[in-house]
Homo-oligomer: A and B are copies of this chain.
Amino acid sequence: MKNGPVTSTLQTMADVWDAYREELEGVEDQVRKNLDSKVTLVNTVAAHLLSGGGKRIRPLLVLLCARLCGHTDKDHLVLASLIELIHTATLLHDDVVDEADLRRGRRTAGKVWGNQVSILVGDYLYSKAICQTVVFQNQAINEVLSEACHKMAEGEVLQLDYNGNPLITESEYLRIVEYKTASLIAASCRIGAIIGGAQIDKQAALFRFGQHIGIAFQLADDTLDYAANGDRLGKSLGQDLRQGKATLPLLHLLQHCPDQDKQMIKDRMETRTLTEADLLRIISLMQEYGSISYTMDRASEFVVAANLDLASFEDSSPKRALSVVADYMVNRDR
């Protein structure tokens, strides 16, 4: 693999954000414009959502994939911002479904203004994004984006369907993750490729890249819910289990721990009750049976697969940046 001077300068996400700062600010301007509405309630909620941060990973992927495929204009910024709008809409609905109190350390919109607001502003943002995407008159983009939205919704319903069920297999779980989390990330990459004028095979490679890093992201995220970090104990740990959601670390543990513990975990999943002692026991069992490292290993394998998806592209700054983003999915402390 070549390693020219351009590609070697991007080592960390900080480097990537720095290198693409101007374009990302362009996306941010578009996101702000999208959220600007003549309906007061939308503006109020939008201000809350905007000030809540968010890493804008999906817009970043759109512009990196567009650049990788040779796009030089700036008309991709609008599409990148529309994907962020859809992502924001799904977060609003997810927080209602999960009965979440906090998102990125701040109260969720549902907790501030009520679930009605989260549901309807979510519908508003989603339908606005679809409306504005259609204006581009690009059939391929319409198809990729609408399919991603449908897959996401299907993944969410599937997850709800399996709720409280500890018998889900790893492959079924990975399918849910691919649908609910990886779909929009993969669509972001493919839309970047389409804007960049890439051939179908390159579009497909970047779509797979997005699927792989999306799954890696979710698996790494799943482990955080059982991270043996004392000061996060209490409300912020064990939330998935409290909601009856079996994620990969728990599925691994259920396959390896003694029957008595297995029974305890199944019971907690079904009854959606979890004391701090239960959680400490589960975290300790996960360490004993290597459930966290197993999950992180699986996540890392998906990052390796993602990097292989980039193999057919010439070395370049955006390719190096995509590789850094892929690593970042499983190593978000950097």
Binding site for B on A (CB under 8 A): 37, 39-42, 93, 96-97, 115-117, 119-121, 123-124, 126-128, 130-131, 134-135, 137, 139, 142-143, 146-147, 149-150, 152-154, 156-158, 160-161
A40 touches B161 (CB 8 A): yes
Q: Which residues of B contact A115 (CB under 8 A)?
A: 96, 115
Copies in the complex: 2
Q: Which residues of B contact A147 (CB under 8 A)?
A: 131
Q: Which residues of B contact A39 (CB under 8 A)?
A: 154, 157-158, 161
Q: Which residues of B contact A93 (CB under 8 A)?
A: 119-120, 123
A157 touches B41 (CB 8 A): yes
Which residue of chain B has the shortest Cβ distance to A156 in the bound complex? B120
A41 to B135, CA, bound (A): 34
Q: Which residues of B contact A139 (CB under 8 A)?
A: 134, 137
Which residue of chain B has the shortest Cβ distance to A141 in the bound complex? B134
A304 to B149, CA, bound (A): 41
From B41, B119, B142, B146, A161 is in contact (CB under 8 Å) with B41
Known A41-B157, A160-B120, A161-B39; contact A134-B143, beta-carbon cutoff 8 A: yes
Q: Which residues of B contact A154 (CB under 8 A)?
A: 37, 39, 124
A149 touches B130 (CB 8 A): yes
Q: Which residues of B contact A142 (CB under 8 A)?
A: 134, 142
Instruction: Report the minimal beta-carbon distance from A149 to chain B, rounded to whole angstroms.
Output: 4
